[in-house]
Amino acid sequence: MRRYGKDADEDDIRNRPARGGSRPRTRTRPKHEDAAGAMVLTVDRGRVTCLVEAGTKREREVVAMKARELGRKGVVVGDTVNLVGDLSGEPDTLARIVRVEERSSVLRRTADDDDPYERIVVANADQLAIVIALADPEPRPRLIDRCLVAAYDAGMEPLLVLTKSDLSPAEPLLESYAPLGIQYVVTRRDVLATDGAEAVREHLRGLSTVFIGHSGVGKTTLVNALVPAHQRTTGHVNAVTGRGRHTTVSALALRLPPPPGAKPGSKKALDPGWVIDTPGFRSFGLSHIDPSRVILAFPDLEPGTADCPRACSHDEPDCALDAWVADGHADPARLYSLRRLLSSRDPREED
């Protein structure tokens, strides 16, 4: 049976709409102007736990995933993001992350110094707490130096947290870092349950602090004492190898409890500070860091580099810093510390 007449033309032929509809595709993406702001607390296998309306009575945790329009842009703990979708926080609900706000700081590391791929540890942190055991396992100064370089490169203030002071004194290690003027706090496990934890909290109030350290130094034990409401699994040090076992497998941001005597609703009560616990590591690669940026952490030495030869490593015979220090513009110990930090990029000296 003929559907069209003898003299039918193209105007008589009916076009079927496409299976997906007749609406043409567009590259214009929605602006999501009604998206809600949130802070990323942890990331686990593609699921991102975010805190919405922080500091209010409606504060809640919402599980989300990245929207397709973000492409390969990563989301890390500490990020400020914008969410759409189901923001109720009820079980089995899922929101979408449609934007990642500009980061104020980024802490990076590589697996080793030959690894071209950098990994972002955390974003928007103010302070890097380098947790070091004074014994069991033995402190590794070169690893401390590497963490200091990463902190200075990220624009974060470093804090030395020395644990297990009941096993070994802290003074010898502190003396070697005195020229850098780094803040520090010394603690031990048996006093963390009393006033020891509060002494550490005083260095963290109102700040977002990343806790980082190799396995077995007591980092998670310290975090558990600082935030008693949230307990993470701890491990032990292997008696044969002297190394710890990884027990923290993902980074997690935890809010500190309000300080004693803080009035409900006050800034101290609503924003007491954040602790970000990270997985332990055994190496800290610095292949992503430009050595010329390390000098920025030494404002007393930086003016002396004006007469340095081009591409000066600051550890060669023609370096102008030697004359700068000899003329009394800076302490020789400061120049030694700078060169020690720069040499820490040598993987052979990590231990």
pLDDT in tens, 283-340: 777 777 777 778 877 888 989 999 999 888 888 889 999 999 999 998 898 898 888 8
Q: Which of 52-61, 75-84, 206-215, 266-275 has the lowest mean pLDDT?
A: 266-275
Are the C-beta atoms of 185 and 203 separated by less than 8 Å?
Answer: yes
pLDDT at 27 over 80: no
Q: What is the CATH T-level fold of the domain 291-344, as seen in this structure?
A: Ribonucleotide Reductase Protein R1; domain 1 (1.10.40)
How much is the pTM? 0.79
pLDDT at 152 over 80: yes
> In 178-212, which positions are buried (b, 16+ CB within 10 angstroms) versus exposed (e)?
ebbebebbbbbbeebeeebbeebbebbeebbbbbb
Mean pLDDT computed over 248-275: 83
Domain chopping of the chain, boundaries: 36-100, 106-237+244-277, 291-344
Please give the pLDDT value at position 334.
86
Beta bridge partners of 82: 37, 99
Please give the pLDDT value at position 245.
46
- Structure-token pair, residue 7: 């003299």
pLDDT at 119 over 80: yes
CA 68 to mean position of chain CA atoms: 25
Please give the pLDDT value at position 17.
61
Q: Which of 30-39, 115-124, 238-247 has the lowest mean pLDDT?
A: 238-247
The CATH architecture to which 106-237+244-277 belongs is 3-Layer(aba) Sandwich (3.40)
Please give the pLDDT value at position 215.
82
Where does 36-100 sit in CATH, by number?
A: 2.40.50.140
Number of H helices, E strands in the chain: 8, 13
Please give the pLDDT value at position 100.
95
**279/207: higher pLDDT:** 207
**46, 141, 181, 334 from 176: Cα distances, Å:** 42, 9, 11, 11
Q: What span, in angstroms and rounded, lies between the C-alpha atoms of 16 and 6?
A: 22
Q: What span, in angstroms and rounded, lies between the C-alpha atoms of 141 and 134?
A: 11
Are the C-beta atoms of 209 and 201 separated by less than 8 Å?
Answer: no
Percent of the chain with pLDDT over 70: 82
Output Rg (C-alpha) for the chain, integer angstroms: 27
pLDDT at 58 over 50: yes
Please give the pLDDT value at position 59.
93
Please give the pLDDT value at position 255.
94
Q: What are phi and psi of 237, to 5 degrees?
A: -95, 135
Mapped onto helix, strand or coil, the DSSP state of residue 108 is strand
**256 band by pLDDT with thresholds 50, 70 and 90:** very high
pLDDT at 111 over 80: no
- Structure-token pair, residue 232: 């993470």
Listed ranges 72-76, 277-281, 324-328; the one with the highest mean pLDDT: 324-328
Please give the pLDDT value at position 67.
92
- Structure-token pair, residue 123: 């974003």
pLDDT at 36 over 70: yes
**97 band by pLDDT with thresholds 50, 70 and 90:** very high
Topology match between the domains 36-100 and 291-344: no
Mean pLDDT computed over 99-106: 95
Closest CA to 99 of 137, 48, 164: 48
Listed ranges 78-87, 194-203, 283-292, 294-303; the one with the highest mean pLDDT: 78-87
Q: What span, in angstroms and rounded, lies between the C-alpha atoms of 140 and 156?
A: 21
Listed ranges 144-148, 164-168, 235-239, 283-287; the one with the highest mean pLDDT: 164-168
**33 band by pLDDT with thresholds 50, 70 and 90:** confident
